[in-house]
């Protein structure tokens, strides 16, 4: 499907705030994908989900889902039970919509060694995948790289956890930049993509899922998302890295201006692909 660019939720310029309006506006803007934001809870019903799926299919807009923020697969008791149910509900509704991926903030890396946390989260993901399989739901769970060391989601962790069948990474380049202030050049972006290819092969680059935005950060990591113009993220070099590695999949803008930076990223990428083809 090539490399598609889109928005994290309904574009700001949409006529309505609902997902149907968002998909229609994404199409009008010349973008190719949209992430359904269930970050405050899965509030979409099955009837609406079917309409969303029909509209996306008609307009050829690819969909993904972002599960609620309130997930901690390293939690205990009620926290853990509700976390798994939020993932399952996101996947169930996403599946009806025709989404192929559910993006997840897996949890916090506290209460034990990183290895112990990894093993616990891995076990919970295996159980969740088995439940989805028993329900006939074929959807990929994507563990996102996170912007703080207190969270599970280093590049190493999201690549390693793909040992669980049906689990792939969501590479958030802004988060990876915010962790250290590095990962902000064509070479460093390329190194990240090379790591993905090294772990997952060419298939990992041909079915990639990416988040990007401007980012404000401190020595503790991510503080808040910014528009590209107010951030030091070298998005033009990132677009070049995308072209260098000929990646395919979805690039989702999480900038506050959503569609503006999505279109800007697409423009930069398209220009580099055109330049490469003319050589």
pTM for the structure as a whole? 0.96
| Inter-helix orientation angle 235-244/186-200, to 10° | 40
Give the per-residue pLDDT at 170: 98
Give the per-residue pLDDT at 276: 79
Region of 100 on the Ramachandran plot (φ > 0 left; ψ -120 to 50 alpha; else beta): alpha
CA dihedral 61, 67, 69, 72 (to 10 degrees): -150
pLDDT tens-digit map of 200-230:
999 999 999 999 999 999 999 999 999 999 9
Secondary structure of 20-80 as H, E, C letters: HHHHHHHHHCCCCEEEEECCCCCCCCHHHHHHHHHHHHHHCCEEEEECCCCCCCCCCHHHH
Instruction: Identify any residues that bridge with 151 across adjacent strands, giving them in sequence order.
Output: 108
What's the pLDDT band for 112 if we cut at 50, 70, 90?
Answer: confident
Give the per-residue pLDDT at 278: 74
The label of the residue with tokens 């992430």 reads 35
Q: How many domains does the chain have?
A: 1
Domain of 64, in residue numbers: 3-278
The candidate with the shortest Cα–Cα distance to 241, out of 268, 216, 260, 222, is 268
CATH number assigned to the domain comprising residue 67? 3.20.20.150
User: Across all residues in the chain, what is the average pLDDT?
Assistant: 96
Phi, psi of 224 (to 5 degrees): -165, 160
pLDDT tens-digit map of 30-46:
999 999 999 999 999 99
The SS3 call for residue 180 is: helix
More confident residue, 167 or 278: 167
């Amino acid at each position: 499907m090539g490399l598609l660019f889109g928005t994290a939720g309904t574009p700001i310029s949409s006529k309505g705030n609902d997902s149907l309006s968002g998909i229609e506006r994404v199409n009008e803007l010349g973008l190719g994908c949209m992430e359904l934001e269930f970050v405050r809870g899965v509030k979409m019903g099955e009837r609406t989900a079917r309409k969303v799926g029909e509209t996306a299919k008609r307009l050829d807009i690819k969909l993904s889902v972002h599960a609620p923020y309130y997930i901690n697969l390293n939690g205990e008791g009620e926290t853990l039970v509700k976390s798994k149910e939020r993932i399952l509900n996101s996947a169930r509704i996403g599946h009806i919509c025709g989404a192929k991926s559910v993006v997840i903030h897996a949890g916090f890396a506290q209460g034990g060694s990183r290895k112990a946390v990894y093993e616990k989260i891995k076990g919970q993901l295996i159980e969740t995948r088995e439940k989805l399989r028993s329900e006939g739901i074929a959807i990929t769970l994507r563990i996102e790289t996170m912007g703080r060391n207190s969270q599970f989601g280093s590049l190493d962790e999201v690549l390693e956890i793909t040992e669980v069948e049906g689990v792939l990474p969501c590479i958030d380049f802004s988060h990876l930049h915010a962790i250290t202030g590095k990962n902000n050049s064509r070479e460093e972006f390329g190194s990240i993509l090379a790591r993905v290819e090294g772990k997952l092969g060419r298939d990992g680059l041909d079915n990639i899922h990416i988040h990007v935005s401007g980012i404000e950060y401190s020595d503790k990591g991510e503080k808040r998302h910014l528009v590209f113009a107010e951030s030091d993220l070298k998005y033009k070099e990132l677009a070049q890295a995308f072209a260098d590695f000929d990646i395919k999949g979805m690039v989702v803008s999480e900038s506050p201006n959503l569609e503006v930076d999505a279109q800007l990223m697409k423009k930069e990428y398209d220009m580099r692909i055109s330049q490469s083809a003319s050589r």
